[in-house]
Amino acid sequence: MENMWHRVVVTAALIVCVFVGSTKIGQTAEVAKLDTVTEARCIKILRGAVRSDEFWPSMHAAEALTLAGRGGEVVKLLTPMLPLEKDDQKRCGLARELVRAGQRQHVNVLLSIMAGEDTHGHVHSCESIYKVFEIGDGVSLRAAIQPENPIKKQLMAAAALGRWGHPQAMKILRSAVSSEDPDEARIAVWVLARIGDATDVPLLRKNIARFDDPLVVAYFENSMATLGDSAGLIAMAKMLQGDDPALKVYAATFAGDARAVSLAPLLLPLLEHEVLDVRVRGAQTLLVLSKPLTELDKNQIVTQDVFVATAKNPRYSEGSIVALADGRLLFATTEFADSASDFAKARIIAKTSKDEGVTWSESQVLQKSVGKLNVMSVTMLRLTNEGLYSGPLGMFYLVKNAHDDLDVWLKVSNDEGKTFGDAVLVTNQPGYHVMNNDRVQRLSSGRLVVPVASTPDVSKDNHFVSKCFLSDDQGLTWRLGQGEIDYAKRGAMEPEVVELASSEDGSVRLAMYMRTQLGHIAVGYSQDGGETWSQAVDAKIRAPEAPATIRRVPSTGDLVLVWNDNFTAGAGHGGKRTPMSIAISQDDGKTWKKVGDIETSTQHTYAYTSLCFVRGRMVMSYYVRDESTGRISNRFRSLPISWLYN
């Protein structure tokens, strides 16, 4: 389970020799320092329990082993069990712990159970999806929170969506705290302990008095403790020392979520308890509290320049980020040498992060410069609809040979980006075909769409028309769509394609947004999956001559727009590419509401954004150009989806 990382204050004092030094209740500490004997004892309990005939305690032990850094053991043990299990609820448990242990492709099992006709595993699948921070495309979960569904399914689906910033899901959970049904209230407060905040404590305190069932009351008290309430923490300590095994289990589990280091001494006796789940949860939380925090705080924003420009490499830009099956992020970008020009020598390099972007590996080369001028503008994308972490990984990139010879190529990896196969030509027509970074789209039909802005020769005809190359066989073969979009002045440039809601006849509808020289973004539409296009019109979004990035938020279904909210008539490129702004649309792009600016410096400019959604967060990259030096670095930014709605 995720940590809430609150420090806590209570009044009693304990000294237990098992810890290095002494720990007092009321003393704030980052970690509980276990001696090696106790740590080994905890691991022994968990290794025994994970092989137990008691299924759910064994899954709890698997969770604990992963949290203790031993996910490899879990994968080895549970992988052969999953295909043999027929019960959907137990399949949820096995898939969930494999996902938690780093095999994130198994989230597809949970999503398929949740969307299946057999209702037996629906609640368990929603709960498991919530626990591992996954929602897929969010469509089935958004349907599950509707009132016609059983209330427990609604609440667990709301838990998953709430973790991904869905405001209505949070309202559903907070409303359920006041329910007359004790089970509904208990589930709601359990979830809010992990995805709510301190402002929820008064709501819990107001409603706890309505119940006299000790277990329901315990959920309220433990949840309040996890949200930072001192009275709740005192109650948690009493439960750990009480006689009721069920209360001990829940108090021990919540203690880890609350980061209640000061209560660690009270967990030690639980290792001797006759009930297996008490021993498991006691061992789990002791190990969790003995290790530094690893999860990002749910409100934390991570920002850093992962690729920093230098005199030798004055430009890093046009990046793309993809989530790998083992939980790492892979951040690919273009590394230019000696010059920041679009025509300078360049190659595709990448770094990986195993802690959600806080730290990064050393660079590796993904694609050498095979063009006569360079290679650049990478897109990393799963090529099939098998799931976010499943199927072959495609790397699209530009090969630039001359002013009349620029093409998109594709290489495919079947080992999560370690190696790539032979290159396939996508833009199999003569000309100069510009495709921005992170632009290729995979439609619900499975079709791959590569949007490009083309001209015969950029040095002789600096006017572009936008069109799409299409593949219906996962990138093996490509063809040019029938239609194209033109516009005034320099034309329709740097297109971005997004899938819209299907029409009544089931046709796949797309919108293409384009950079223009007219002080606004233009948009055109396709009713046939990118084969043909309407004429472009003003999208009613002011902008300089700069690209925009548009994606659909999985949890809410809204569209999110990242662009430069600025225009200065008569200025070069229609004004500077600053600020960098974000807007959302709740009507498939008909209207937009600006949320705010994420970059505002007038000494820098920002553009060429990549955007994906991972573990309830908007994960972005974009270039940052220092206007005084002309150097361009590539910045990583991760912020919670809830930022869009707060």
More confident of the two residues 388 and 301: 301
pLDDT tens digits, one per residue of 604-621: 999 999 999 999 999 999
The residues, any chain, with a CB within 8 Å of residue 143's CB and separated by 6 or more, are 149
Q: Can you name the residues that pair with 317 across neighbouring β-strands?
A: 334
At how many degrees (to 10) do helices 88-100 and 107-115 cross? 150
Give the largest Cα separation in the chain, rounded. 84
Question: Which helix (H) or strand (E) covers residue 123, if one does?
Answer: helix 122-131
pLDDT tens digits, one per residue of 558-604: 999 999 999 999 999 999 999 999 999 999 999 999 999 999 999 99
Distance of alpha carbon 602 from alpha carbon 569, whole angstroms = 17
239, amino acid identity = M
Q: Which residues of 439-455 are buried (b: 16+ CB within 10 A; e: fewer)?
A: bbbbbeeebbbbbbbbb
The DSSP secondary-structure symbol of 536 reads P
Per-residue pLDDT, averaged over 319-327, amounts to: 97
Closest CA to 610 of 397, 325, 332: 332
Question: Which helix (H) or strand (E) covers residue 199, if one does?
Answer: none
Strands annotated E in 600-646: 604-614, 617-626, 632-640
Structure tokens at 206: 């107001």
Q: Given pLDDT bands bounded at 50, 70 and 90, which one contains residue 165?
A: very high
State yes or no: pLDDT of 7 exceeds 60. Answer: no
DSSP, collapsed to helix, strand or coil, labels residue 353 as strand
Peptide bond connecting 579 to the previous residue in cis, omega within 30 degrees of 0: yes
What SS3 string covers 137-155?
CCHHHHHHCCCCCCHHHHH
pLDDT tens digits, one per residue of 497-526: 999 998 778 889 999 999 999 999 999 999
The DSSP secondary-structure symbol of 534 reads P
Distance (Å) of CA 58 to CA 66, 89, 90: 13, 14, 11
Q: Say what the pLDDT of residue 294 is.
A: 82
Q: Which residues of 525-549 are buried (b: 16+ CB within 10 A; e: fewer)?
A: bbbebbbebeebeebebbbbbbbbb
Number of helices followed by number of strands (H, E) in the chain: 16, 25
* Sole residue written with tokens 């420090």: 7
State yes or no: pLDDT of 639 exceeds 50. Answer: yes
